[in-house]
Chains A and B, each alone.
Chain A
Amino acid sequence: MTKLEEKLQQIKSKKRIGLMTHVVIGYPTLEETVSIVKTMAENGVDFIELQIPFSDPLADGPTIMKACEEALQKGIKVKDAFKLAQKLSEQVEIPLLFMAYYNTVFKYGTKKFCDDAKKAGISGLIIPDMPLDEEHEEHFIKYCKEADLKNIRVVSPASTTERLKKNARVADGFVYCTARQGITGAQKELDPQIISFLKNVKKSFKIPIAVGFGISNKERIKQIKPYADIAVVGSAIIDVINRSSEQEIEGNIKQFLIGLKI
């Protein structure tokens, strides 16, 4: 059983909701990324998405986009992501995943990317712009499988039932549900459309469901718990970084994570 599978089983047996957090590699600096990830691992985070900065991050909102831009301006290279993953996987126990855009994978060489990610201790890949329809050309899913990496499929409320089923056939580890629409500000209840989407996902997939909806607080996590196995917190943590001085980052992230516990 892989690290990621063990973690999923552990979450299930404790009947709790898992927590996946996110960092942009090299934001604010590579050194900070290391200590942020360690802080996360020490404070109850179950999985961490290490996003490799890309010049044109199509699936990201302004917060993460800006973080990518700054990381790239500081000269972060794809090889730094592998070095960092290597270093971190030796120091933290929880599964680490790479989140990247397909051009990063493609330019590196899809097979080599998968092999090197595995060697660096990565458990899975989240590549939101790699469509199933191109698998016969790109062989991305095949190389993931060969390298024993989980290929995390990303679905949204716009995914049709047919599309969900297609993804379910190749999905591995858990499925990542994303949607920026559906929840606004102080709304107490989950949008019924989101609930029916998550129910639909549950029907199509046999593996655990991770949900990222711009989740920024405990209330949100409580709301999604009946429908999800893992809550994903992304840009809210970058917001924490952005409002912290260098000395405060770890402390503030710790406080933020404690505040998420339900």
Chain B
Amino acid sequence: MEQLGAKVVPVIFGSKTLKDAVNAAIKDWIENVKDTHYVLGSVVGPHPFPTMNRDFQSIVGKEIRKQIKEADGKLPDFVIACVGGGSNAMGAFTDFIKEPLVHLIGVEAGGKGKKIGEHAVRFPTGSVGVVEGYKSYFLQNSDGQLQKTHSISAGLDYPGIGPELSFLHDKKRVEFVSIRDQEALEAVKLLSRLEGIIPALESAHAVAHAIKIAPKLSKNKTIVVNLSGRGDKDIFILTKAFKDKKFYEFMKDLVEAGI
């Protein structure tokens, strides 16, 4: 981001996760609304931003349709995407919402356990609330205080979910499942080994679910997994998680040398 000329401002308050970054972005916008546009990269926040973001992202689904038709001559049976706020999922799903035969699956962060603060699974543990300018499902307590979340992937570590995804959940158009940190890490390993593609930890959740369901399906079924990001950005988390001896030591030395 800095190479591309952006000024990157880290969030210094709250749980320092995606939710706090969203709060900070909205606050900055409130204070500077006259000369600032809100371009948060997710389908959350006040209307019309979730729908704008969906429309921009929807190119993903259009490309999926075109490419799969060329490759397979038919629509996919499954489209699987990870869901934090839900921008890549809305991008991949939107073009297929009106295709009843295409099964849409959103994958949430199962984290490291089922206790509060150990995951970011909004369905079924969340409840309806109005936070950050939108009404949707949130992980919150009975007083409406947002709860702590955890995921190995920063992009899924978020207590809310885009309002349209909540709607699609309630309409039973999108199925929601969850994948744990460990399963996502295994998916990173497998995809790297078999395809030479290092998926982002977020996208690895979608990959992990595809790995889970594929053996149960007949051979002629087609699954599209949205690889919404690359794993390069996760190099520090992956180093810590995999602890490959030489590379771990190399990174440790770099950090100790002050890089």
Contact = CB atoms under 8 A, between A and B. Distances in A.
Interface of A: 54-56, 58-59, 62, 65-66, 69, 72, 77-78, 101-104, 106-108, 129, 131, 134, 156-158, 180-181
A56 B30 contact: no
Contacts of B138: 103
Contacts of A106: 129-130, 144
A181 to B, nearest CB: 6
Interface of B: 13-14, 19, 23, 26-27, 30-34, 46, 129-133, 135, 138, 140, 142-146
A106 B127 CA distance: 11
B146 A56 contact: yes
B13 A55 contact: no
B31 A108 contact: no
A107 B140 contact: yes
Task: Rank and list the top 6 A-B pairs by shortest CB-CB distance, nearest first.
Answer: A107-B144, A55-B145, A103-B144, A158-B33, A55-B146, A78-B143
Contacts of B46: 131
Contacts of B23: 56, 58
A100 to B, nearest CB: 9
Given A56-B131, A107-B140, A129-B130, A180 B26 contact: no
Contacts of B14: 56, 69
Contacts of A65: 13
Contacts of B13: 62, 65-66, 69
Nearest to B47: A133
10 contacts: A55-B145, A58-B23, A58-B26, A103-B140, A103-B144, A107-B143, A129-B130, A134-B135, A157-B34, A158-B33
B129 A103 contact: yes
A107 B129 contact: yes
A85 B186 CA distance: 53
A181 B31 contact: yes
Given A56-B131, A77-B143, 12 more contacts: A54-B145, A55-B146, A56-B132, A58-B30, A78-B143, A78-B144, A107-B144, A129-B133, A134-B135, A158-B30, A158-B33, A158-B34
A158 B142 CA distance: 34
Contact of B143 (A62, A104, A129, A181): A104
B19 A56 contact: yes
A58 B143 contact: no
B133 A107 contact: no
B116 to A, nearest CB: 13
A213 B117 CA distance: 37
A156 to B, nearest CB: 8
B159 to A, nearest CB: 9
A104 B26 contact: no
Nearest to B22: A56
B144 A108 contact: yes
B142 A103 contact: no
A80 to B, nearest CB: 10
B189 to A, nearest CB: 36
Contacts of B132: 56, 58
Contacts of A101: 131
Contacts of B34: 157-158
Contacts of B144: 54, 78, 103-104, 106-108
Nearest to B46: A131
Contact of A103 (B26, B31, B130): B130
Residue among A58, A78, A131 with max Cβ neighbours from chain B (10 Å): A58
Contacts of A103: 129-131, 138, 140, 144
A26 to B, nearest CB: 12
Nearest to A106: B130
B58 to A, nearest CB: 25
Contacts of B33: 158
A131 B131 CA distance: 12
Contacts of A107: 129, 140, 142-144
A102 B129 CA distance: 9
Contacts of A56: 14, 19, 23, 131-132, 146
B125 to A, nearest CB: 15
A56 B138 CA distance: 12
Contacts of B26: 58
B30 A59 contact: yes
Contact of A102 (B130, B140, B142): B130
A122 B146 CA distance: 26
